Amino acid sequence: MKAVNYRELSKQYPLKRALITGAGSGLGLELTKLLLNDGWCVAALDIHVQALEKQQSALLFISEIDVTNRASLQQIIDAFCNQQNGIDLLFNNAGVGEGTLFKDYALKNWDWIIDINLKAVIDATHFVLPYMHKANSGLIVNMASMAGIANLPRMSPYNVTKAALISLSETLNHELCDTDISVTCVTPTFFQSSIMQHSKGDPAIISSASKIVSSSALTSLDAANIILKNLHKKKEFVRFPLSAHTFFYSRKFIPSLYKKIVRKFLYKRADA
């Protein structure tokens, strides 16, 4: 991979210490590779680490972990932060997609998706913040989705967890406003990723969603580059591509028309 230099981000965080959850595939893997190529020390966490093990770098620290295991997550974060004498960037990327009607989704599956998409983010952030507070420096990036704003039908488990990440990010920005710690919430629409691979919902809806994701013109590498190029700006939100802005502003300024379009064109059977 050709090295990309994130000069402005490196100026802010010259020690270049990052921890990425969900780093074993898709966006997380591309973020890991890009940061390694830019000279960052990266702790890469995932339940599947085969792709990470192919990366040859003395700056890469791989941990095979289920991020819902709170004790293991804390142990890994503490070990990395103590070894590196702190941390600059936490990227809460681990997450799963879902497609289903609310009435058809088992309560045990709600526990599953909330544990991964929300509670693991809360845990990682909670464990990292003391190190950032000690240095009065750091950036937390939460990988949410436009789904947390648009709330399209047949996606309630995913929508709810991503909306919670948006809320958490905004709240933390208020609470950290007197520090040099910032939080960026990423809210894209679709790009090529493995987000649907572990879904437990309606097979027909999941299949339809997977086709939409895989047919996107934007790759995980494209998305990783867009995100990293924006982090030094310390924006509260990073939205991309154009469709994300379309969803956001149409819902905000013409909500009645937006609702009508969503219900007419998107609330259909996935196999219709």
Question: Domains, the chain, ranges and CATH?
Answer: 7-265 (3.40.50.720)
Give the integer Cα–Cα distance in Å for 225 and 236.
17
- Answer for the pair 205, 154: CB distance below 8 angstroms, yes or no: yes
pLDDT of residue 236: 97
Instruction: Quick: pLDDT tens for 148-177.
Output: 999 989 999 999 999 999 999 999 999 999
Q: What is the pLDDT of residue 204?
A: 81
DSSP assignments along 172-214, one per residue = HHHHTTTSSEEEEEE-----S-STTTT--S-HHHHHHHHHHHH
Q: Is the pLDDT of residue 268 over 80?
A: no
124-154 pLDDT tens trace? 999 999 999 999 999 999 999 999 999 989 9
Find tokens 């990440």 and name the residue.
165
Among 39, 25, 30, CA closest to 95: 25
Are the C-beta atoms of 165 and 144 separated by less than 8 Å?
A: yes
Instruction: For residue 270, name the pLDDT band (cuts at 50, 70, 90).
Output: very low
Q: Indicate whether 12 pLDDT > 60.
A: yes
Percent of the chain with pLDDT over 90: 81
In angstroms, the CA 111 to CA 96 distance is 13
Q: What is the pLDDT of residues 202-220, one digit of tens each?
A: 888 878 777 877 778 899 9
Residue 60, pLDDT above cutoff 70: yes
